[in-house]
Amino acid sequence: MEKISACIFDLDGVVVDTAKYHYIAWKSLANELGFDFTEEDNERLKGVSRMTSLEILLGIGEVELDEATKLKLAEKKNKNYLEYILKMTPDEILPGVKEFMNELRSKGVKIALGSASKNAMTILNQLELTNYFDAIVDGTHVSNAKPDPEVFLKGAKLLKVDPIDCVVFEDAEAGVEAAINGNMKCVGIGSPEVLGKANIVVPGFVGFSMAQLNF
């Protein structure tokens, strides 16, 4: 096995399923604007920033708005989304995640977060997971969205490890590309059809261990 100094985790879709709450909040906004927003549409928002998500949603509804209105709508959606987030509990951590993180800790592998979300700190606190991370980089710290590798490279820098010795865990295609663009290894969490560029793709963390990081 090659040297692995750090594992960098995406948040939504890897550590926790917040996509369902994003969906409720975006759908409610779309309905207010007079059009429907399906679960299939919601797939297009995974891993994408809040404002880009809004642009995609408005494109689906063929609605054109000025910048000030867009900012207000994004804020409104986030307020609604936060009502769900603030009710989350540690039970919502996806199965196997904590066990794998405990293994990493016991083997001296550093752990970082690399998420597009500006609500990452709130979510980690709700999940009581904040203390598991040696470094946290989220949507409030970066100016370039995935597939730009900025979020992961910042994590590696904070941990003082070489990108080549990092493994990224990602559920979105743009996130897998960001890892590759950062010269990091990547485990895709989800389906091989979408995440085929990752070194390996697994459905989730149940039964997952460092032994599988042998690529």
Residues that bind ligand B16 (CB under 6 A): 10-13, 22, 45-50, 53, 78, 115-119, 139, 172
CA–CA separation, 180 vs 121, rounded Å? 25
* 177 touches Mg ion (CB under 5 A): no
Nearer to ligand B16, 203 or 214 (CB): 203
- The item of ligand B16, Mg ion, none sharing an interface with residue 117, based on CB under 5 to 8 Å by kind, is ligand B16
Q: Is 91 a catalytic residue?
A: no
| Least CB distance to ligand B16 at residue 171 (A) | 7
Is residue 181 a contact partner of residue 163, using CB atoms and an 8 Å limit? no
Distance in Å, CB of 124 to ligand B16, minimum: 11
Least distance to ligand B16, CB of residue 108, Å: 25
List Cβ neighbours of 173 (8 Å cut-off, separation of 6 or more): 47, 194, 195, 197
Angle between helices 19-32 and 50-61 (to 10 degrees): 40
The residue from 9, 12, 146, 177 that contacts Mg ion (CB under 5 A) is 12
Q: Using alpha carbons only, give the angle 46, 52, 53 rounded to the nearest 5 degrees.
A: 45
Active site residue 165: no
Active-site residue set:
10, 12
